[in-house]
Amino acid sequence: MRDISVLLSLLFLLLNLSLLSASSCKDKSPLRMVSGSGRFKIALFADLHYGENAWTDWGPAQDVNSDVVMSTVLDSEKPDFVVYLGDVITANNIAIQNATLYWDKAISPTRKRRIPWASVFGNHDDMYFEWPSEWFSATGIPQVNCPLSSISYSGSEPCTFRGTTRVELMKTEIANNNLAYSINGPRELWPGVSNYVLQLLSSDGTKPALLMYFLDSGGGTYPEIISYAQAQWFEKQSQLINPNSMIPEVIFWHIPSTAYSQVAPKPNSVIAKPCVGSINKESVASQEAEWGIMDILTARPSVKAVFVGHNHGLDWCCPYRSLWLCFARHTGYGGYGSWPRGARIIEVTENPFTLKSWIRMENGSTHSELVMSP
């Protein structure tokens, strides 16, 4: 038993060194299970789409509605952590160079409540501006003030249509927010940027209780895909810091893998067990190809679930081999679809380890509760 204890201590030390050596989180307080309850709650905000149709009255009004949804969820659930699950902004509708202004607005409800967070990129976050065809009609291009009046900003900001890169968005989020646990991932994985791992410690801080992996599923300025290089990076990292799969792992990215299509209920059908959810209004819009990540994940008994956004009309979880594939819930009022907004909640318990999830709606109700582990 003593040998096992020593081995666990060495692994814990290795984990900390590995995570912190190249991490922007090294000066932040470690994430830890809540003392007393031994629980940790995470809220997933997916597809906020701030800045959509930013030149109209409709667009800024949707951002205000999204603020209300997030505030309702945060005040009802009081999560310990928030994950921004991609498509935080609709960059292809933002006619200013510094789209970080909209990104900052999107994270403000969480920051205001002093809740730490992390983010991954979606396919809309770094897109180039798409010129609306109606701008070339008789009415012409509307007056576009940069920055727009709905954004608080001091100084002059020229209009531009080039978009803001993933690297710029992430660097600004990290530099300007002490509560941001996001990381600019390894350069060798670029153009994918949001590739990193965070650890959640036990309530007494002596050992890791959960590993949270974040992967950039592409889209926008490059193909919608998790590359072979990313899959190999995950495999290397997971074997290094969790070689015996003793620490539970959960995975976050934006665009569902092709495996989601394999387990998906027929669109518009009733969601039947073993799947759990409430809306099933469209087909899965998956990544363009599969380059090994799902085989690696399913080979690890420590991987409990994958959480994605992207499809606004889906919120189900379905089992796939040894793990669960879950959609979040469309949180933002930007983006397509008129379904009621909400957020997926994840609750981790340390002793014994359990992983539970449900959906909190904008009207305060909850549904689709599911225990995914053990």
What is the C-alpha to C-alpha distance for residues 334 and 328, in angstroms, rounded to an integer? 16
> Which of the four pLDDT bands, split at 50, 70 and 90, describes residue 68?
very high
Q: Report whether 360 contacts 343 (CB < 8 A).
A: yes
CATH number at residue 48: 3.60.21.10
Q: Is pLDDT above 50 for 205? A: yes
> Which of the four pLDDT bands, split at 50, 70 and 90, describes residue 264?
very high
Residue 309 forms part of a structural domain: yes
Q: 96 or 350, which is more confident? A: 350
Segment among 73-77, 118-122, 154-158, 360-364 with least mean pLDDT: 154-158
Residues 6+ apart with CB under 8 A from 130: 92, 93
Q: 265 or 156, which is more confident? A: 265
What secondary structure letter does DSSP report for 327?
A: E
Residue 144 forms part of a structural domain: no
Residue 334 forms part of a structural domain: yes
Q: What is the pLDDT of residues 179-194, one digit of tens each?
A: 999 999 999 999 999 9
Q: Report whether 247 contacts 217 (CB < 8 A).
A: no
Residue 107 forms part of a structural domain: yes
Q: Report whether 79 contacts 31 (CB < 8 A).
A: no
What is the C-alpha to C-alpha distance for residues 109 and 68, in angstroms, rounded to an integer? 9
Q: Which of 126, 220, 226, 210 is nearest to 172 (CA)?
A: 126
| Domain span holding position 295 | 28-128+163-373
Residue 298 forms part of a structural domain: yes
What is the C-alpha to C-alpha distance for residues 225 and 236, in angstroms, rounded to an integer? 19
- Domain count of the fold of the chain: 1
Residue 145 forms part of a structural domain: no
Q: Is the pTM of this model over 0.85?
A: yes
State the chain's mean pLDDT as an integer. 89
Amino acid at 156: S
For residue 9, the model assigns a pLDDT of: 46
> Which of the four pLDDT bands, split at 50, 70 and 90, describes residue 5?
very low
Q: Which of 290, 292, 297, 210 is nearest to 256 (CA)?
A: 290
Residue 326, SS3 per DSSP: strand
Segment among 14-23, 49-58, 209-218, 243-252 with least mean pLDDT: 14-23
Residue 345 forms part of a structural domain: yes
Q: Which of 62, 194, 198 is nearest to 123 (CA)?
A: 194
Residue 239 forms part of a structural domain: yes
